[in-house]
Amino acid sequence: MVERKDRVDAFAASLLIGFSILLGLNQALVKLVNAGFEPVFQSGLRSACAFFVVLIWARARSIPINLRDGSAPFGLIAGVLFALEFGLVFVALDLTTVSRVSLFFYTMPFFTALGAHFLVPGERLSLLSVGGLALAIAGVALGLSEGSSESGHSWTGDLLAIGAAIAWAGIALLTRLTKLIESPSEQVLLYQLFVSAVLLLAIAPFVGDMVRTVTPMIVGIFAFQVVAVASLGFLMWLWVLTVYPVTNMAAYSLLAPIFGVFFGWLIFDDPLTWRFVAALALVASGILLINRR
């Protein structure tokens, strides 16, 4: 059983900031790889490859994987949520811009804090936090109000990204409230990767051509995603989740959409309208208030 801490210290903060940068970049990388692989197939293939990377990591460090510790049923649920999360966000990146996916997908702390208020003892929202929820909701509404345009985004992609955020929040809460919190981070991630790989690869043939135009650059970017994001990055995130308060930890996720918007602008020249920037500011401000002591 890991020792719980009541606040995010400097070490955890540095890990979470680095992970936010990685996540912001990852949205752009997924969109690039979508040119070579159909989104659902890419998501399932990434989970399958990352499963073996994490398994090798666990074996090399002699980390016990115990499927009889009572966590397996919850691990299966987490795996379904993981498949839903990444299946939705990968498809969203095919339909809308990186910047918009970054805005809506990283509303995850909003849904996490809301769920924690009702489900996690000692993490109830204050009156100030309720005001933060209202700001975040206003930001999402403002972002959605732009609708479809010639800039390459659609409401469908926006809503899929929000659905992915809800699934991600569900994983965070499930981990905190069940036997998963007593299992090694590697075991928790292996559950998610295995189940999502099976589900997504089974669905992939029915949603379109699985392979599009594959180049060496796309293969290289995909390999980076497997190792740096889907394997080592999420191992770190799950470890932080089991040690530090979920609400305080989630606050750092507001950095991810900022980095996502930056990389979307840098790589794809995503348009930044005043309405979109205002929506991003409202969501970030709301999440800050939600998590303020």
> Which DSSP letter does residue 185 get?
H
Q: pLDDT tens for residues 20-36?
A: 888 889 999 999 999 99
Pick the residue with more confidence: 78 or 117? 78
Decide which of 148 and 109 is more confident: 109
* Least reliable range by pLDDT among 10-14, 84-88, 163-167: 10-14
Would you give the end-to-end CA distance of the chain in angstroms?
27
> What distances in angstroms separate CA 261 from CA 17, 65, 168, 269, one per listed residue?
15, 38, 20, 10
Instruction: Kindly report the pTM of this predicted structure.
Output: 0.85
Residue 107: the pLDDT is 86
**Could you read off the pLDDT of 77-96 as tens digits, one per residue?**
999 999 999 999 999 999 99
Of 121, 229, 128, the residue nearest 177 (C-alpha): 121
- Give residue-wise pLDDT tens across range 187-223: 999 999 999 999 999 999 999 899 999 999 999 999 9
- Residue 181 φ then ψ, to 5°: -70, -20
DSSP assignment letter at 3: P
Is residue 152 predicted with pLDDT exceeding 70?
Answer: no
Distance CA 231, CA 228 (A): 6
Q: From CA 162, how far away is CA 8, in angstroms rounded?
A: 26
Tell me if 92 sits within 8 A of 34, measured CB to CB: no
Q: Please report the sign of the dihedral spanned by the C-alpha atoms of residue 155, residue 157, residue 163, residue 166.
A: negative
Residue 151 has pLDDT above 80, yes or no: no
List of residues 6+ apart from 126 with CB closer than 8 A? none
Note whether 240 and 12 are within 8 A (CB): yes
Confidence at residue 147, expressed as pLDDT on a 0 to 100 scale: 55
Region 179-183 average pLDDT: 91
pLDDT at 47: 95
Q: Residue 45 is encoded by which pair of tokens?
A: 């293939």
Percent of the chain at pLDDT > 70 equals: 92
The average confidence (pLDDT) of the chain is: 87
The mean per-residue pLDDT over the stretch 123-148 comes to 79
User: What pLDDT sits at residue 153?
Assistant: 60
pLDDT (0 to 100) of residue 165: 95
Contact 7, 248 (CB under 8 A): yes
